[in-house]
Structure 1
Amino acid sequence: MTPNYTLSGRYRIVRSLGEGGMANVYLAHDLILDRDVAVKLLRLDLRDDPKTIKRFQREALATTELVHPHIVSLYDVGEENGMQYLVMEYVKGMDLKNYIKKNFPLPLQQVIDIMEQILSAVATAHAHNIIHRDLKPQNILIDEQGNAKITDFGIAVALSEHSMTQTNTILGSVHYLSPEQARGSMATKQSDIYSLGIILYEMLTGSVPFKGETAVSIALKHFQNEIPSVRDFDSAIPQALENVVLQATAKDPRDRYATVEDMANDLLTTLSSTRVGEKRFVPDDLGNDETKIMPSAEIAAAIDAHRDLEKTQAMPKSQPAPATSTATQPTTAPTSAPDPEPLPTRSWSKRHPLRRRLIIIGAIVVLFLIAIAVGWELSRPQSTTVPKVTGLSQVVATTQLAKKHLSVGTIKREKSNSVAKNHVIKSTPGAKTTVQERSRINLVVSSGAKAISFGNYVNESYTGVAKSLKAAGFTVKKKYSTSAVTEGQIISQDVLAGSQVLPTNTTVTLTVSAGSRYVDLKDLTGESKADILDYGNANGLNITFKQGYSDEQKAGYSYDQDPEGGGAVRAGSTVTVYMSRGSQPSSATTQNFYVKIKVPYKSMTSVAGQANDVKVYLQDDTHVFDSVYRDIGITHDTTVSIPVQLTGKGDAKYRIVRNGVVWKENLKVTNNDAAK
């Protein structure tokens, strides 16, 4: 994936963040929400591997269920040209592994604070019955404020998914692997607790407890060797804190903390004076005995023997009674036992044969009817409700349907200007419809936007036109003008009628009549941006924002305007309002440079010589991005000069819109972009 490639028309790739065994991660910019995101893209060589795809989808499912400040958020799931991707929160910082290397030794209180954040996030996952199974410092991100966030739920599994764990299959990183996982047993919540104990050990000592030349040798140490003492590494570490490591990493899961919350509660008091002099933790099953180290061959034999014992053995049909001790077995039968009374010579059934047969037949009929009713009820498919999947990506929609025991039927692809590519337009049956379980739900999926012919909206009411254009996917901006035309009617439009445009990539500015009245302009200083825009719309005024530093006004509020308040202005006039960025940094240096962009003229087939409408949007120290910096008409290729002023570490960006369509933009302008 190359820089500047735009995924699904929305996520522009900036640079690579890292490569993994299953997916590559990129820094991207969300063009719609104007924010940086992390895009995890399934590797091309694995996109046809069903196991990898299932793991990738499982990560999306697990992450969508978990909302926590210390778990990386999932924003979107999609597919483009057979490439599946996840869009996640971008955490600016480094992973815990590198953080330990850079900052070791960490203060004990900081270790506890970071672990408490991690434990609270894992507790949320466990509350949803989701086991991470691959907890390690590389999957824990530390942002610039020191906050921890867990990521990579690629091999996380719900407790009910027994089929996902196979005997002798080891998932997870071997340095943090629990003994039961190393043996190939199913991971439990206690397995995550073991990994958390290893992470705590590494934060205290700067290294993992077990090392080896091969993964197998390290795995053997996890269930053979005792965890090295952190107090041997640093005697200043309290015994109470070491005990948390020892209990979390006990060989037997039953000796570990019952829950992550228990581990967190124990950890929070480890520096308390009340726990000074605490004895070293010893698992119940070990007592005072020394840890016995079994050779790997004996371990394998023990595992095989254990499996043999678990096999069910069939009991012979005729089995002799077990021999008993001669001291307890009587040698002769008691002579005083009375003989049983002889049975009557004629039973009740012989006296009433017909009644007996009727009762037996009636009982059989009743049992037969009950069996039929029970069988019918058990075989009848249960009802379920179709979930709402419109607007979801095809992958997420499939997952949501599976939760309701439904599957995807036929998939039809249609162009759509209101639904993103590879997202569901509608389902049949629709949402909230009651259907039988195991039913197939047909989906209509967007194949992307389609170019349409832009209409002529001059002399129409702005309110209705703007509503319909926004529903079609257009970005609509309004500009007022003094006119004798009825107030609220459209006077002109900057997108030529009849031109072919993509709605999701088109910004249209409609010039609306503000009438010919005058407005008493009020003093707008000290107002917020939202309040100023509301005032401008209510009075038919065009508001243009600029920004600058002000020692008198706090950031986000206006400190000046042009023209000044108190006078009368004609409706449709433009008022420039200056918004404060706060006080100017004392040590900041200011950069001033020009960016020059050559905008090519695009000929109009319908109108020869028709000028192109070019709007330039700029954000720097003095300009804001949602206000037009320049609005020009060009009839030939024209070079546009954009002056940029930056103070300190501020960011600048520009966007050029030609005939309503975004032609070019740069969302991170630096001095390297300056005209030479």
Structure 2
Amino acid sequence: METNHILSGRYKIIKPIGEGGMANVYLADDLQTKKQVAIKVLRMDLQSNDDTKRRFQREARASRKLNHPNIVKVFDIGEENGMSYIVMEYVVGMDLKHYIQKYFPIPYQKVIDIMSEILDAVQVAHDHDIIHRDLKPQNIMIDNHDHIKIMDFGIAVALHDNSLTQTNTLLGSVHYLSPEQAKGGMATKQSDIYALGIILYELLTGKVPFEGESAVSIAIKHFQSEIPSVQKFDPRIPQALENVVLHATAKNPKDRYLSAKEMKADIQTSLQKSRANEAKYLPALRDDLDETKIIDVPAKSDLTTPDKKQSRKLAFLKRKRFWLWAGILGLLVILITGIVIGSAKKDVTIPDLSGMSQTQAESTLGDNHLQVGDVAQQHDDNVQKNRVIKTIPNKGMVVKENSRVGLLISLGPKKIEVANYVGKNYTDVAKTLKKLGFTVRKTTVTSNDYAAGQITKQDVPDGKKVIPRDTIITFTVSTGEAVINMRDLTNYTQKSVQDYANENGLNVSFSSAYSDTVEKGLVISQSPSAGTPISREANIKVSLSLGKRPVKPATTTFSKTLTIPYNPVTTSSTSASTSSSTQSSSTSSSSLSSSAQSSGGVQENHVTIFIQDSTHNINTVYKQFPITQDTQVNLSFTVKQNESAYYRIVRDGELIMSDEVQAPQ
């Protein structure tokens, strides 16, 4: 589907985020809920396949039954123009396979926490009689808060779904396939338990227990080979924790945990000190009645137990019979040898041995009176490992009997060591790898560290040796910096602006100003303006309102500093120049002067100050104090606009200073 296509009038496609063998997955906006969702769309080449469409619809039906925080939610299912789709919860994070590759080694307690959430989800599915059948790390998401989400019930089976029939097709991923499924049997809940044991093994060791040259060889190992010990990989792993792996992956389903709930209860106590000396888990001894066996049926005469005499007789007859046949064989060898020696060497045509095993080739050469010569090996993309590529001389050539014929044996396809492609151009890398036979897939991500088109991650680790034609390698490719349109922040609070900046990785700086139109605390202006394209880590500026500018007060307060001179000689009379308005005040000061006492030979001057302003009257004493030296005084005045203030200073009853003062402009 194209970007910006609106599916069913509701879901606006943003971009593709994944590809699978059955469906493609897109990120979309739900125009009704205003949330992002993941939409799984059945591939166009499979839309006409009725069986595939039924499986796809079965996934939707199975998933909608399950409501659990550790299971990806299914919101909607539908069909548009014959195109089937499922609308699911969009999980921001990575699948467990990538998580293991990125964070291994994982602490044991973290492993237990992850498995506990997986087991909770599987138990819910089993309670609804739904078997997943394809449990693997690639189908388990871990979000940015380390919560588990199981997805992809595309091959899930409802136990009561009678429309399903058993086939020999192995639908599950072979690395996590139970022995009974590998043999072509029907999957059960214990099959899911087995897959959970393999997932636990991978969490503890960083790898799957069985590898092979083909899916068939891996499947065979699941029912023939014992699970390798996780303690051999990491001796620090407690035996109790290894026992959970062994119990879950027992070959016989009857020896596995009865339920995911039981497995969870066991793993959650595996690190406890009380289980420190636990013995290694061994499954019960059982008669495997499910296997096909060849049973020797004795003759009726042998059904009774022979006595000792009869036994000795039987042993003698066997020895006699052996020497008889040995003699006959010896005579035949002598006879054949004589014939060969007495005969001339004949011409022999070298047979076509291509595709045979070395043993088969040697036998065929012997049948044609030829001997095996030098055996060499080389890689071959078309001939299976340990099979004959060709003979030397070549097939069809005529040689003499007993000639030696060399064999060239295949080592199988040559493995290639995967390089580190992070930072390289995806188009160039994909072109090179496809020529080598790799299947290359691509997912995209915005990035501030990598330019558009550069690879940011690869799911096959560098240094791993793989067979190209059997390998799918997925690259995460940068689309460049995430670009968004600057939002209109009008009427946002400072907290709302900061939240917006945090969500989009922006740097914000605040300033403030008065505004007669914008309420205090809300945004007045912003830079860049709304609608401007910006990238992550861009700087934005926001001005917040201080509210209306305050009105200038009606009065002004100011001060004036004066120095009052000290007069060492005082008089007891009142100055004749004192005005009538200060007569009473001067008399009072003169009285104080006459009563002044000397202190240590220093005569005090008594000072009285009067001021006239908005709050004081000139006829009322403002300050009064004695001085024995020149003294500074600070006078504070409060006046209304365009008004003046006055002051008078009287020393020992004599007016010595007076003036009118104006408020500074």
TM-score by length of 1: 0.46
Which structure has the larger Rg?
2
TM-score by length of 2: 0.47
